[in-house]
Structure 1
Amino acid sequence: MNPLLDRAYGCLIATAIGDALGMPASFMSISQIKQEYSKITDFVTPSREQVAHSSIVAGGITDDTQESLIVSSVLKEAGKFDTELFILKMKEWAVKYNILESTVIGPSTRLFLETIISGGNYLEAGKKGDTNGAAMRVAPIGIFHHHDFELAIQDAIASALPSHGSKPGVASACAIAAAVSKAIEGKSLPSEIMVAAILGAIRGEESGYDIPSPSVAARIHLAMEIVDRNQDKPLEEICLLLYKYIGAGMKSYESIPLSLGVFYAAKGSVTDGLIAVVNLGDDADTNGAIVGSLCGAYSGASTINKSWIEKIEKVNSINFKEIAQDLLKTCS
């Protein structure tokens, strides 16, 4: 496998791995995770205490990965991010799988889906969306535009505005798209990828609807500072500090700075980063998916536990390598 494909494939498969590893711990506290699972180091069946994803089997993906696959299909079919095609595919997905009757989606995505199904004005409905749904699905845009940072930012903005159009919502999508775009190229240090994320967040904050919220860009910078000041500590301790100062919830200004901080602290290691972030709990599946996107784009599929890859692709019947090839082929 050539290095570019290795990183693109790594980004997509690690998104799904992080999603599935974090799924059983979603919206649990650190102490609840310890009580129910001791420590999550592999795919596990959700316990009875798991309310959001109780029906998913070990290794199963959630809406985080499913929506990123929708974005991938839009890029493949349109040769760019096409808003109308994205809306059509999201509507078809929601209707086919009765998503509005499920507990898996966040509030901003729920309002977006309700609006497009009813034929309402999604841009108006989505302008206050401030959760992490746009960021969790945006990695394919970073892969697709690995050769062009500016196009990655532009398409990230376009992908966020319909559902997560607030300053933090757009900023978070731009931060992850920018970071993935930089990482996929394979020429950057983790610190340089973090700087790209900050620049992306700043651009996103300029494009989003103004709501009362902390700055995503400032919080990514804070995450870097926390990691840099505590490099002598074990990864688990650093990540606990990130959690204490930033949080791990679904709000964009928690989830995205935390996930980038874990990527930075783990130095791009898929295994280390994912185990660290999912055991923090709260929005564990989405944070796992985002950390997976970042670490997979940086380190590549060749560094990932082969049994994890086999489990994910078998349980979910998805060929992520083929999707990565399609994204790279279409963008060229």
Structure 2
Amino acid sequence: MTAPPPLSPTLGALLGVHTGDSLGATLEFTTHSRIKSTYPTGLRDIIGGGAFSWPPGHATDDTDLTRAVLLAYRDREEFRKAGSSQAEEFDVAKCAAECSLKWLEGDWPERKKGSRPIDIGGATLTGLSKYARSRDPKNCGAGPGSAGNGSLMRCIPTALFTRGREGRIKESMAISAVTHNDARCTVSCAVYNEIVASLVSGATPKGAVDVGLEVATSLDCPSVEAAISRGESLSISKIAEEGPGEELPDRTSGYVLQSLSVAIAALLDPRSFEDVLVDVVRIGGDTDTNGAIAGGLLGARDGIEAIPPRWLEKLQFRGEFEELARSILQSQAN
């Protein structure tokens, strides 16, 4: 069996998503100019609030749905330990869909039973509503043409807990397709997860991005290839200071390829986890999701030690994420 990945970048990746989500939640939908006038050097503390009045460190849909996918990998490992020798018999996409449906229907920590999430993307709602009727993870999704970032924001557990590129790509695309089955979304998830897996295994940021580009090429998705190349040319610090402008013309509105480009640029920025993530959020727009997606890459790059303790201590699911990650990795090592 392939050795499990090191613990520090695994925890960094998971909690990087949570951190970026919670930091960005305060400024979701806020323009760059408004952020610059209120926080001239960027928001540097997790303070909650925002459009949905989040408690500090509380998960938005980004982290909640990452948790749903993480729970699916926990359940797969429990299935394997229970005696099955064929882990592929476990449908991880279906399990992730079931966990996501629990989130949608209010069977979730710190939520009133039966209550709906206060924030949910249109494609996610469409896909999960179709799944609730069909219970078929291959027969839902919002359809081609719907290319939001709602599956990219939640996909990272696949990178961390599935060994082997072929399996990761298959699972990344299948889990995305439950809600986001446009090829731009499914391929972006596969690319992102191969970048994360490469980072956790010790690749340089540039080396990991090259792996992602190779995957996009192998899956014949030129638009994702272009998004990666675009990310390589962007300067996060410049955009954070001057505003999106022509470099990001749709102003980080939630388009999956733009979020992927921003995350690639963040990964290749040599500054600290904190400085880069603050600048990703400072760009404005879909700040929580862009923060989550970039935070996952930065956490895989730098490890959990790079995430400021004052941020970690506020995260709603920190303890659970750490416990689940350690448990899955330990089980896989046995």
Same fold (TM over 0.5): yes
The corresponding residue for 1:288 is 291
TM-superposed deviation, 1:107: 1.4
Q: Which TM-score applies when normalising by structure 2?
A: 0.83
Q: Which moved more, 1:238-247 or 1:158-167?
A: 238-247
The corresponding residue for 2:105 is 95
- Which of 222, 227, 230 lines up with 1:222 in the alignment? 230
Matched, 1:163 2:179: yes
Matched, 1:33 2:35: yes
TM-superposed deviation, 1:248: 1.8
Unaligned stretches of 5+ in structure 1? 207-213, 228-234
Once the two structures are superposed, the pairs formed by residues 194-273 of structure 1 within 5 Å of their partners are 194-203=209-218, 215-227=223-235, 236-237=237-238, 243-244=244-245, 245-246=247-248, 247-266=251-270, 269-273=272-276
Once the two structures are superposed, the pairs formed by residues 68-217 of structure 1 within 5 Å of their partners are 68-79=66-77, 82-96=92-106, 97=111, 101-119=116-134, 123-128=139-144, 129-145=146-162, 147-186=163-202, 188-203=203-218, 215-217=223-225
CA distance in 1, matches of 2:261, 2:240: 12
CA distance in 1, matches of 2:123, 2:114: 13
CA distance in 1, matches of 2:169, 2:240: 28
Task: Give the fraction of aligned pairs with identical amino acids, expressed as a percent.
Answer: 24
CA distance in 1, matches of 2:254, 2:225: 16
CA distance in 2, matches of 1:161, 1:3: 26
**1:15-36 residue CA offsets vs partner (Å, 9 max, x unmatched):** 1111100001111111122344
Q: 2:190 is paired with a residue of what secondary structure?
A: helix
Q: 1:241 to 1:289 in 2, by over 3 A?
A: same
Q: Which has the higher helix share?
A: 1
Unaligned stretches of 5+ in structure 2? 78-86
Q: 2:6 is paired with a residue of what secondary structure?
A: helix
Once the two structures are superposed, the pairs formed by residues 279-318 of structure 1 within 5 Å of their partners are 279-312=282-315, 315-316=316-317, 318=319
CA distance in 1, matches of 2:39, 2:102: 36
TM-superposed deviation, 1:102: 4.1
Give the partner amino acid of 2:64. Answer: Q
Matched, 1:66 2:64: yes
Q: Which TM-score applies when normalising by structure 1?
A: 0.83
Q: Which moved more, 1:322-331 or 1:93-102?
A: 93-102
Number of aligned residue pairs: 307
